[in-house]
Structure 1
Amino acid sequence: MSFTVTLRPSGHSFEVDDDERILEAALREGFAFPYGCRNGACRSCMGRLLTGEVDYGPKKPPGLSQHDIDAGKVLCCQAVPLSDLELEVREIGAARDLVVKTLPVRVVGLDRLNHDVMEMRLKLPTTEQLLFLPGQYIDILLKDGRRRSFSLANPPHRNDFLELHIRHVPGGAFTTQVFENLAPKALLRIEGPLGAFFLREDNDRPIILVAGGSGFAPIQAIVEHMFANADKRSAHLFWGVRTAADLYRDDQVKAWLESNPSMRYTPVLSASGPEDTHWQGETGWVHDAVLREYPDLSAYDVYLCGPPAMIQAAEAAFVAHGLPVQNLYFDSFEYGADTQEALAGNGGE
């Protein structure tokens, strides 16, 4: 039996097959929903259930709280309809016309950016191109059927190769291979572009960019895209890391500032070590640093990319300080239980 999902406020509708998840059906039918991890952790695909019933199976998704359920929220990547539904969710027109492709790529470069982040450059076949939006991600398709998700760190106009920032996860099968065994010219398969984290270009609101660790990757793509397109909006980048050694593109960001006076940059250390004794910048949690600078966020667009704990803390704090929910865009990367590598989010772990 299939059920009809009607989207509000647009009135668009699509059919969901028996035991099919809402997000799967929406993407199959060409509707661009916000989504990230697709495993129920990142909350990017959350909508509001207006009428009807859904089921999540025996285990509630990790990103869905009892408060969310009581408020009528639904995680589209995990929810299976039990009836026809009316669902309030943001549709994303900009991503709808992009074609998701499965393509072979060749590794053409591996460069360490610091002690635990590697820049990987991938070359597409000469007969293919990948159209994407700044901030989106790709999946690397492993031979055993698993996937590993990484944000594209290059903007669409800089497309000689695809740039990924891969953080070494201890015990992670794929990231260990990248750091220890993968050789240039190796062949991989990818799928993309994926995700709903990308720069919105339909307004003139000033922008706050918040990166956690290697969540800097899609932020780099967004910033470079803004510069290339002479975007007039002001932008303030906050980059939260543990120690100064984790600011693996600090010099590049400072070079941006020299040629783009409308941009500001605030690095934030959460666990400074002995080597950071001369640090005079911000410390603590990165979202707290944002609020010290911007106690009223009502006039801003905010882009967040980092681990789930950072995203959840920042989301609650920023909304409490006036940020309209519709002006918050985030990409949360979650880890798989098998290898502790990132499954979806695209923050480059």
Structure 2
Amino acid sequence: MQKVTCSVEALEEMAEALWYVRLKPELSVDFLPGQYLLVVMADDDKRPFSIANTVNEEGVLELHIGAGPDNTYAMQVLKRMQEQGQIEVQLPAGKAHLRSDSRHPVILMAGGTGFAYTRSILQQMLADGLHQPVFLYWGVRFEDNLYADQEMKTWAAEHKELTYVPVVQNGDEHWQGHTGLVHEAIMEDFPSLAGYDIYVAGRFEMAGVAREAFKEKGVEADHLFGDAFEFI
């Protein structure tokens, strides 16, 4: 992996305890859609964050970081970025990147800021031209956590092959969409998952439950991708 120092070009709160970060590496970097980087806090302390965009002419890296007062793991990273204006990262990391040569229909499943992972993959697929149906399911606890909702609605309106399905676990009386857990919404909407490429990002517990549930719906193991599966 390449180690590079990045200047912090933007650090903005998108929603409560959700931060957008834009980094500018001092050297050009390369990665595949869906890969992640490691923020180097120390030689023995490297913290993973999904890259939310694809390789671009500007050479920037975008991150979506969930960080509240009770999440010191992420807050320490943001604090260093704020105080120093730069951060050292290693990349690329992760095996659950886009399989761009596949023509299977695709399901992208994200929990919370795992959306960053699915956004990188989707952004590349849109740039290449959608050659198959793509379904993006984004699960959050509250509607306010859908920080990129308008962007996703715009993309879905512009591309007939793309279906965007937000899922709110704790929807209020005004919420009209899916409620509950995001993997359960997928289970309800698809009689079978055979023949689909499925990409998963979110908490390890969520990924583990989804993997077992999707097996019951016929997903092939070599068509189910998620970096969490390397650890659980």
Gaps of 5+ in 1: 1-99, 335-343
- Return closer, same or farther for 1:306/1:140 CA change in 2, 3 Å cut-off: same
Decide which of 300, 325, 337 is 2:196's aligned counterpart. 300
- Matched with 1:51 is none
For 1:142-161, list aligned pairs within 5 A: 142-143=41-42, 145-157=44-56, 159-161=58-60
Between Structure 1 and Structure 2, whose CA radius of gyration is higher? 1
- TM-score (structure 2 length as normaliser): 0.93
Give SS of 2:199's match: strand
- Return closer, same or farther for 1:112/1:177 CA change in 2, 3 Å cut-off: same
Conserved in 2, the CA contact under 8 Å of 1:238 and 1:266? Answer: yes
Decide which of 322, 325, 328 is 2:218's aligned counterpart. 322
- Matched with 2:10 is 109
- Matched with 2:206 is 310
Matched to 2:14, the amino acid is: L
Give SS of 2:82's match: coil
Decide which of 197, 202, 211 is 2:96's aligned counterpart. 197
Conserved in 2, the CA contact under 8 Å of 1:308 and 1:332? Answer: yes
- Matched with 1:186 is 85
Query: CA deviation digits over 1:14-48, x for unaligned, max 9?
Result: xxxxxxxxxxxxxxxxxxxxxxxxxxxxxxxxxxx
Query: CA deviation digits over 1:305-334, x for unaligned, max 9?
Result: 011111111111111111111110013399
- Matched with 1:141 is 40
Give SS of 1:245's match: helix
Matched, 1:216 2:115: yes
Matched to 1:157, the amino acid is: N
- Percent identity between the aligned chains? 34
- Matched with 1:249 is 148
Task: Give distance in 2, aligned partners of 1:182 and 1:324.
Answer: 41
- Return closer, same or farther for 1:187/1:333 CA change in 2, 3 Å cut-off: farther
- Return closer, same or farther for 1:254/1:112 CA change in 2, 3 Å cut-off: same
Matched to 1:249, the amino acid is: A
Matched, 1:120 2:21: yes
- Matched with 1:164 is 63
Give SS of 1:183's match: helix
- Matched with 1:258 is 157
Conserved in 2, the CA contact under 8 Å of 1:122 and 1:162? Answer: yes
Task: Give distance in 2, aligned partners of 1:333 and 1:208.
Answer: 17
Structure 1 residue 180, shift from structure 2 partner: 5.6
Conserved in 2, the CA contact under 8 Å of 1:157 and 1:225? Answer: no
Task: Give distance in 2, aligned partners of 1:250 and 1:116.
Answer: 17
- TM-score (structure 1 length as normaliser): 0.63
Structure 1 residue 181, shift from structure 2 partner: 6.7
Structure with greater strand share of residues: 2
- Return closer, same or farther for 1:172/1:282 CA change in 2, 3 Å cut-off: closer
Task: Give distance in 2, aligned partners of 1:280 and 1:301.
Answer: 28
- Matched with 1:30 is none
Conserved in 2, the CA contact under 8 Å of 1:108 and 1:185? Answer: no
- Return closer, same or farther for 1:306/1:333 CA change in 2, 3 Å cut-off: farther
Task: Give distance in 1, aligned partners of 2:15 and 2:229.
Answer: 20
Structure 1 residue 158, shift from structure 2 partner: 5.7
Gaps of 5+ in 2: none
Give RMSD over aligned pairs.
2.2
Query: CA deviation digits over 1:63-115, x for unaligned, max 9?
Result: xxxxxxxxxxxxxxxxxxxxxxxxxxxxxxxxxxxxx2011111111111110
- Matched with 2:125 is 226
